[in-house]
Copies of this chain bind each other. A is one copy, B any other.
Amino acid sequence: MQDSIAQLRARVRQFVEQHAIPSEEPSLAHDVQRLDAVVRRLQGVAREAGIYAPHLPPEYGGLGLDWQARAEILEEAGRSFLGAPALNCAPPDQPNMINLLRHGNAAQRERYLLPLVRGEIRSCFAMTEPAPGAGSDPSMLRTTAERQHGKWIINGHKWFISGAVDAAFAIVLARTDTGATMFIVDTSNPGYRLVRNIAGMDGYQVGGHGEIVFENCVVDDDAVLGEVGQGFAYAQARLEPARLSHCMRFIGRASRAMEIAQQYAAQRESFGQRLADLQQVQAMVADSHIDLHASRLMVRDCARKMDAGESVKHDSAMTKIFVSEAVWRVADRAVQIMGALGISDDTPVSMIQRELRPFRIYDGASELHRATLARRIFQYGLRP
């Protein structure tokens, strides 16, 4: 098994080097249509290469990898902006697939999961709301789904909904009588409106980041995903694996940035010395290796526990804080080592730094996780 994972990883690396990276270009960032087309093309190549959908069970055409194997594959794919989307294991589709697998009924799987798995459609997950709605604090959820005449009427306002542009459906979190509930809403529903794509720092998100309005959006009972009232629980359950998957992909991204910086430092001379021979550069390189080594060990430790069925509530929070900050430091050092070239779009390093910035905010801001960790520590008297 270990061998075959190593082989699989080598195939992913080959795919990334030969297909994903050559397809990257700065102008794809923020151009959702072209980005979409490029990813669709790459998915075909990945399927043929036998590396498609590492997170899905074989009966759904996936590789059926456990978390420890995924840690390797997602890191490798994550070296390119286009790697994880090409393998169809990028958010929000990846966690949406997992939600549908776990909670979707047969009809929902047929209608939504299968085309999603095949890469024919895309989806989004509509949870975050503008102030004073649900941001870090999901309990502030203001989008409602009211029961009327055997239907559900959804009203609300969502934003920063990754993947929303050209998505075929959204999994929507809305407040119902008995708690929050997840609904699957077709974006062709007349009550669903994509207001705009919100531009910002990170450009390579397939489907951008949408602002969405639900205005008397009517859906039937078969739009309910899983059980009514279980929305928060399902959302929580998707978060841990989602943030760990992010860690895996972004370790790959940061590693690539530093790899490029190392190659630059090994050649570029200044004041009669290679940059690689300057101690301040050496310290930045050494610290980046340490940051990534610690990041990988934390991720793998979580993966091992998840594979063993242990809870990683606490550990995944520690891991998310550390990794999101570590990969940021690594990318920042890569930019610094490369000087003006690092700022430019002539290499992907500049975009990698921009793309890593949101990770300290998405999936729970570092500050929120720190406070939550500490409260749990004090509540249960956890030893340091």
Provide the residues of chain B in CB contact with A297, threshold 8 Å. Answer: 294, 297-298, 301
Q: Is the CB of A279 within 8 A of B278?
A: yes
Q: Is the CB of B373 within 8 A of A358?
A: no
Q: Is the CB of B258 within 8 A of A340?
A: no
CB proximity of A313 to chain B, nearest CB, Å:
13
The answer to whether residues A199 and B344 also contact, given A289-B318, A373-B289 and a CB cut-off of 8 A, is yes
CB proximity of A67 to chain B, nearest CB, Å:
16
Segment touching B, from A47-55, A146-154, A265-273: A265-273
Q: Does A343 contact B (CB under 8 A)?
A: yes
Segment touching B, from A111-119, A164-172, A240-248, A360-368: A360-368
Q: Does A200 contact B (CB under 8 A)?
A: yes
- Nearest CB to that of A382 among chain B residues? B289
Q: Give the distance in Å from the alpha carbon of A382 to the alpha carbon of B362 in the complex.
A: 29
Give which listed residue, B293, B335, B342, B371, contacts A298 with CB less than 8 A: B293
The answer to whether residues A262 and B384 also contact, given A283-B367, A289-B377, A374-B285 and a CB cut-off of 8 A, is yes
Give which listed residue, B139, B293, B343, contacts A357 with CB less than 8 A: B343
Please encode chain A, from 258 to 298, with 1 for each CB lying within 8 Å of some chain B CB and 0 for all others.
11001001111111000010111111011111101110011
Q: Does A179 contact B (CB under 8 A)?
A: no
Provide the residues of chain B in CB contact with A378, threshold 8 Å. Answer: 262, 265-266, 276, 285
Q: Give the distance in Å from the alpha carbon of A290 to the alpha carbon of B377 in the complex.
A: 12
Q: Is the CB of A344 within 8 A of B160?
A: yes
Give which listed residue, B267, B345, B357, contacts A200 with CB less than 8 A: B345
Q: Is the CB of B344 within 8 A of A271?
A: no
Q: Is the CB of A362 within 8 A of B340?
A: yes
Q: Give the distance in Å from the alpha carbon of A199 to the alpha carbon of B25 in the complex.
A: 12
The 29 sampled A-B contact pairs (Cβ below 8 Å) are: A26-B199, A132-B268, A136-B339, A199-B345, A200-B345, A201-B350, A201-B353, A209-B344, A254-B384, A259-B383, A262-B381, A266-B381, A270-B368, A279-B279, A279-B367, A280-B280, A282-B375, A283-B370, A283-B371, A286-B370, A287-B370, A290-B321, A293-B298, A294-B298, A336-B361, A336-B365, A339-B361, A340-B362, A354-B354
Provide the residues of chain B in CB contact with A66, threshold 8 Å. Answer: none
The answer to whether residues A343 and B370 also contact, given A297-B297, A378-B266 and a CB cut-off of 8 A, is no
Q: Give the distance in Å from the alpha carbon of A254 to the alpha carbon of B383 in the complex.
A: 11
Q: Does A17 contact B (CB under 8 A)?
A: no
Q: Is the CB of A318 within 8 A of B343?
A: no
Q: Give the distance in Å from the alpha carbon of A184 to the alpha carbon of B296 in the complex.
A: 43
Q: Does A37 contact B (CB under 8 A)?
A: no
Q: Does A24 contact B (CB under 8 A)?
A: no
Give which listed residue, B137, B200, B280, contacts A283 with CB less than 8 A: B280
Provide the residues of chain B in CB contact with A286, threshold 8 Å. Answer: 318, 321, 369-371, 373-374, 377
Provide the residues of chain B in CB contact with A294, threshold 8 Å. Answer: 294, 297-298, 322
Q: Give the distance in Å from the alpha carbon of A190 to the alpha carbon of B198 in the complex.
A: 43
Q: Is the CB of B131 within 8 A of A267?
A: yes
The answer to whether residues A290 and B136 also contact, given A279-B371, A377-B262 and a CB cut-off of 8 A, is no
Provide the residues of chain B in CB contact with A377, threshold 8 Å. Answer: 262, 285-286, 289
Q: Give the distance in Å from the alpha carbon of A134 to the alpha carbon of B322 in the complex.
A: 36
- Nearest CB to that of A200 among chain B residues? B344
Q: Does A106 contact B (CB under 8 A)?
A: no
Question: Within A125-143, which residues are at the interface with B (CB < 8 Å)?
Answer: 128, 131-132, 135-137, 139-140
Provide the residues of chain B in CB contact with A381, threshold 8 Å. Answer: 262, 266
Provide the residues of chain B in CB contact with A339, threshold 8 Å. Answer: 135-136, 361, 365
Q: Give the distance in Å from the alpha carbon of A139 to the alpha carbon of B273 in the complex.
A: 13
